[in-house]
């Protein structure tokens, strides 16, 4: 029995260890690595703005179906039950002394019940262009909704790009600060060795210690900036704040293939907001057509068949009727004229908005392109500056160890390395963010 209990305790301990290992493995699981394309895919999948834009497009699809359905026949069935109570009366006093006196003495009135059924059909034959205009407006709205989906998608991709680039920039900054701290710490050790040997003053040690502490403060700030950038990226791509992610791409330079003139032309031809504004011009033209239809004749066909009886369901007595109705607006106190003027002003406004959007697009493309080119020039010069600053720091450090240089020169050269590296990473960030702005400005999917 004791032996069995021993095995039981052993089994419980073994299971506990296994559970602890499994828990530790889950708790210490590596963060999910996301590429730029992964991030964009998640953003498109989880974004509420994309879902709203697609819902608006679906609404426009059904609005087109509604407008087209109005051209077809409309069949209506109705059933009516009626019970009427009339007071009793005779016509005797009106026909007294006539041959109808006998009939006139008959009493009328009482309670009557009737049941009726009607089946009717109506078809619009000509509406002066009203239905056609409404249908074309619905088609235009659908096109606008489609452009809005593309616009929302491009905006979301841009937001994801910038958020992702911010993480890469913050990560590069964190790496630069860590390298700077390592260099200053290594230099402090050299200074301490020199001080212990009596080769330098205590002030060199103190100055180096201050620079190490300052670098530690900068590293803490860089770590916080990196965490904030990660939080912003998770928000854009729709991941929970407590999720563990890691970016795996790097900021890089790839020469942009288009000239400024090509970019502007592409934007004017392909930007979804410009295409949407041009479609709104067509919508406004059809609005004028709809307004003018009130001055044209309307032609409708109507047909019906009726069944009436005093017994439910009222299907014994029947009669039918067909009619062709033509109507035209003769006088409406200026209502149609006002609607036409209103529609024409909306058309003028839409035309001007197209001109305005094309002008704004050209300016936006030009600004993004110039920023791209400026960042491109800074990348090469700052890269050379990094190499020279690192070489200068290496030389100053060696000379200090040999007693031929000052502590201040070493510290200044390390600060120069840090500044040059930050300038290089900032130039890469500016280039990539300007490229993202340019892609969005010209409407590239």
Burial zone of 366 (CB within 10 Å; 0-12 exposed, 13-18 middle, 19+ buried):
middle
Neighbours of 305 (CB within 10 A): 14
Does a structural domain hold residue 164? yes
For the stretch 23-35, what's the b/e string if a residue is b when 16 or more beta carbons lie within 10 angstroms of its beta carbon?
eeeeeeeeeeebe
Does a structural domain hold residue 94? no
What is the number of alpha carbons within 13 Å of residue 294 lying toward its C-beta? Answer: 16
Distance from C-alpha of 263 to C-alpha of 373, rounded to nearest angstrom: 13
Does a structural domain hold residue 325? no
Range(s) of the domain holding residue 65: 28-78+127-301+332-442
* Cβ atoms 219, 178 nearer than 8 A: yes
The dihedral sign for the CA sequence 353, 355, 358, 361: negative
* Cβ atoms 315, 117 nearer than 8 A: yes
Name the more confident of 102 and 344: 344
Distance from C-alpha of 418 to C-alpha of 49, rounded to nearest angstrom: 40
- Tokens 């998640």 appear where? 42
Q: Give the residue from 165, 135, 168, 154 showing the smallest Cα distance to 63.
A: 135
Q: How many domains does the chain have?
A: 1
Cα-based distances in Å from 106 to 86, 91, 162: 15, 8, 95
Does a structural domain hold residue 41? yes
Average pLDDT, the chain: 89
Length of the chain: 445
Distance from C-alpha of 110 to C-alpha of 84, rounded to nearest angstrom: 8
Average pLDDT over residues 326-341: 92
High-pLDDT (> 90) share of the chain, %? 76
Distance from C-alpha of 437 to C-alpha of 369, rounded to nearest angstrom: 9
For the cut 90, the answer to whether the pLDDT of residue 442 exceeds it is yes
What pLDDT does 95 receive?
64
Does a structural domain hold residue 355? yes
What pLDDT does 59 receive?
96
What pLDDT does 19 receive?
46
Average pLDDT over residues 272-290: 95
What CATH number should be reported for the domain holding residue 338?
1.20.1600.10
What pLDDT does 112 receive?
78
Average pLDDT over residues 199-203: 89
Round the CA-based radius of gyration of the chain to a whole number and report it. 42
Does a structural domain hold residue 393? yes
Average pLDDT over residues 264-273: 94
Average pLDDT over residues 221-236: 96
Average pLDDT over residues 113-125: 92
Distance from C-alpha of 320 to C-alpha of 425, rounded to nearest angstrom: 85
What pLDDT does 102 receive?
63
Does a structural domain hold residue 435? yes
* Cβ atoms 45, 238 nearer than 8 A: yes
Average pLDDT over residues 176-202: 92
pLDDT tens-digit series, residues 15-67: 445 444 444 444 445 688 999 999 999 999 999 999 999 999 999 999 999 99
Q: Who's near 320: CB < 8 A, 6+ residues apart?
A: 303, 304, 305, 306
What pLDDT does 9 receive?
47
* Cβ atoms 312, 148 nearer than 8 A: no
Neighbours of 175 (CB within 10 A): 14
The model's pTM: 0.80
Does a structural domain hold residue 107? no
What pLDDT does 241 receive?
92
Distance from C-alpha of 61 to C-alpha of 55, rounded to nearest angstrom: 10
């Amino acid at each position: 029995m004791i032996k069995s209990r021993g095995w039981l305790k052993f089994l419980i301990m073994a299971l506990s260890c296994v559970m602890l290992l499994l828990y530790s493995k889950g708790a210490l699981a590596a963060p999910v690595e996301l590429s730029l394309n992964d991030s964009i895919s998640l953003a498109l999948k989880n974004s509420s703005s994309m879902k709203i834009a697609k819902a608006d497009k679906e609404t426009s699809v059904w609005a087109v179906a509604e407008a087209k359905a109005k051209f077809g026949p409309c069949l209506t069935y109705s059933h009516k039950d009626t019970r009427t109570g009339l007071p009793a009366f005779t016509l005797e006093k009106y026909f007294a002394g006539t041959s109808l006196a006998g009939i006139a003495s008959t009493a009328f009135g009482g309670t009557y019940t009737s049941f009726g059924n009607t089946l009717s059909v109506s078809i619009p034959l000509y509406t002066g262009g009203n239905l056609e205009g409404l249908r074309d407006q619905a088609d235009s709205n659908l096109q606008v909704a489609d452009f809005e989906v593309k616009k929302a998608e491009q905006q979301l991709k841009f937001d994801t790009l910038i958020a992702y680039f911010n993480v890469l920039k913050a990560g590069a900054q964190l790496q630069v600060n860590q390298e700077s701290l390592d260099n200053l710490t290594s230099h402090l050790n050299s200074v301490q060795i020199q001080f212990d040997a009596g080769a330098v003053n205590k002030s060199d040690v103190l100055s180096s210690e201050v620079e190490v502490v300052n670098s530690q403060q900068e590293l803490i700030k860089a770590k916080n900036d990196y965490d904030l950038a990660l939080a912003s990226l998770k928000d854009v791509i729709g991941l929970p704040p407590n999720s563990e992610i890691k970016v795996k791409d790097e900021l890089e330079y790839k020469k942009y293939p288009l000239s400024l003139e090509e970019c502007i032309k592409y934007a004017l031809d392909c930007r979804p907001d410009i295409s949407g504004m041009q479609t709104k011009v067509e919508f406004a033209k059809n609005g004028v057509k709809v307004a003018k239809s009130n001055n044209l004749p309307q032609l409708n066909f109507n047909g019906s068949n009726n069944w009436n009886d005093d017994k439910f369901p009222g299907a014994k007595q029947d009669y039918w009727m067909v009619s062709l109705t033509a109507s035209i607006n003769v006088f409406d106190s200026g209502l149609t004229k006002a609607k036409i003027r209103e529609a024409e002003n909306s058309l003028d406004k839409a035309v001007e908005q197209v001109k305005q959007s094309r002008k704004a697009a050209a300016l936006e493309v030009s600004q993004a392109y110039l920023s791209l080119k400026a960042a491109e020039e800074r990348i090469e010069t700052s890269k050379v500056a990094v190499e020279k600053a690192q070489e200068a720091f290496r030389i100053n450090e060696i000379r200090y160890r040999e007693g031929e240089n000052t502590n201040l020169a070493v510290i200044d050269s390390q600060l120069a390395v840090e500044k040059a590296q930050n300038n290089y990473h900032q130039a890469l960030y500016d280039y990539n963010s300007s490229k993202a702005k340019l892609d969005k400005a010209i409407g590239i999917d």
